[in-house]
Chains A and B, each alone.
Chain A
């Protein structure tokens, strides 16, 4: 059984912060499919459309029939550990700093044998459950877990390298005024976060849930307005070096598209908060987080953006809000590239309409704050990059994958029906 993680000691100010090293991220184009699947936590292999044979390692042609029609498909992630080794000497700086490192060969019940990282609780020759996760280089890797979980399983040091588990980490959630901040803070408290900083804009006007927020264990309310560069810079100066997980939760939302609104005032507010807010936070908190990507048990681990799923396809009734989220989605991709050298994950949590005053006239289903918070924490624990919360978001991304133009047509038709 995994030993429970000990709380990290206070940092020794005389020691240099360990510079992040990464496992090799070089991959063939075909192998990038593993990262695509891992971004959502899916276990997938290439399957041959012609003969059905599963392939591994990723290929450009079927090793059974030479068809080049290979498609990634979800595969039963069970198998048996048929060989294992503990790497004690590695040519890679990343692994050298983390040896001993357990790897093994797993014979999948579905057919192929794969090399995988192996959890400490897996017994020799045991049945295993494989997961496909992003490693610090941002590439998909296989990890073999015991079939039955145990209490402290997530504390396995090799597994923790693949996740952004909030346990013993310090979290900054932006926008205390957002109705969901209480649920988010609670979820992080339950997940064992050491400190939960919650950024509060405009402390000069009250909001109903402030007392509830302040009452949560380990919550510290701090001044932060993502539309104000000085405010962001000042807070980063104070806590940037101990922000391990940042949840970019500020959103400005008003209904309306282009013509109904007739001005750009709310649009400007939406872009100030949803787009430039992300950028201000990233400019202030990004560099210290990236530098602390390998700083021990409470290393900087993840950046979370809470985005509207309509970033993918404009919802005309919230046309400008959708546009601001599309811009934020694009920026998040830039941020991913810039965070990559530190091994800091950028997790986008996409939601459909949320249970709040701005979606009040919309029919259900809507995403409750508690559901959103659960998804954020679960996504971090699983080390994901893309999470779709709720039925609306899952449905929309599925339709987007089937055809962005088709979805655009459907969104236009739905807007017409609503009128």
Chain B
């Protein structure tokens, strides 16, 4: 063994100890998979995202005396989920663009959290702009390359019809402008972008050029998306690490997943 190996082993041991002691806090960024959790709504002549469904196979009864289990059905993009580059037309030719092909080291990484909750509280169509990002960097330093950027809006605290916030002209929820996404992807070189809303784009994101800029630009550049995240208010602006491992679905364009964050504790 060389010195580096010994050091990383020590690191892992220390991390395990820190998690056990609570000095590294593990935060669940995931919503419960629930039949009533909203999914994205498209015009009805398009195919739709399947709602989460669960059918009992047996429950210690005549259908299976000693065991209980369910069949579940859902879309790759139901609940808290991961978007792979192949999800969008701009990313269809990206090498390793399906969830089963993505190298697993991409699923663990540092995270920057930009708090837009005050703005989103004022304006349901709140936009994350380059100015806001640059402001954030003044306080927290430049966004490191290959990190996750999460847009905190506290939207995850909304319930029922307030979550999609659907009106006659479509949903209204905050999201990034095309320029903001370009800044993050092209200049900062982030690994991926995540939101608390049902998509990485704003509710009215179809009216930008390009439409749905977060999807178009992120996936076109081979980057990832996370949406329907929860508990972003429990993350520091910098310093946390997230683990986001989609199911290994052959040629999958995304996956429901459990996202956890390792957060430095108070004594760290």
Contacts and interface: CB of A to CB of B under 8 A. Distances in A.
A228 B47 contact: no
Interface in B111-145: none
Contacts of B54: 229-230
A266 B161 CA distance: 24
A206 B53 contact: no
A205 interface: yes
Interface in B164-189: 164, 166-167
A203 B166 CA distance: 11
B82 interface: no
Nearest to A203: B160
Interface string B14-58: 000000000000000000000110100100110110010111100
Nearest to A228: B35
B161 A205 contact: yes
A218 interface: no
Interface range on chain B: under 10, 10 to 19, 20 to 34, or 35 or more?
10 to 19
Contacts, number: 42
Interface residues of A, number: 18
B163 interface: yes
A265 B160 CA distance: 26
Contacts of B163: 204
A333 B160 CA distance: 38
Interface string A250-268: 0000100000000101100
A269 interface: yes
B51 A204 contact: no
Contacts of B36: 202-204, 223, 231
B38 A225 contact: no
A212 to B, nearest CB: 16
A269 B160 contact: no
A203 B53 contact: no
Interface in A3-42: none
A205 B170 CA distance: 11
Given A230-B35, A230-B54, A203 B47 contact: no
A230 B55 CA distance: 8
A206 B161 contact: yes
A227 interface: yes
B35 A206 contact: no
A357 B43 CA distance: 12
B38 A205 contact: yes
B35 A225 contact: yes
Contacts of A229: 53-56
A357 B54 CA distance: 30
A263 B47 contact: yes
Given A263-B47, A265-B47, A205 B53 contact: no
A56 to B, nearest CB: 49
17 contacts: A202-B36, A202-B38, A202-B51, A203-B36, A204-B36, A204-B38, A204-B163, A205-B38, A205-B161, A205-B164, A206-B161, A223-B36, A227-B51, A227-B53, A228-B53, A229-B55, A265-B48
Given A202-B38, A205-B38, 9 more contacts: A204-B36, A205-B41, A205-B161, A223-B36, A228-B35, A228-B53, A231-B36, A265-B48, A269-B48
- Sorted from nearest, which 5 A-B pairs have the closest CB atoms? A204-B38, A228-B35, A265-B47, A204-B160, A205-B166
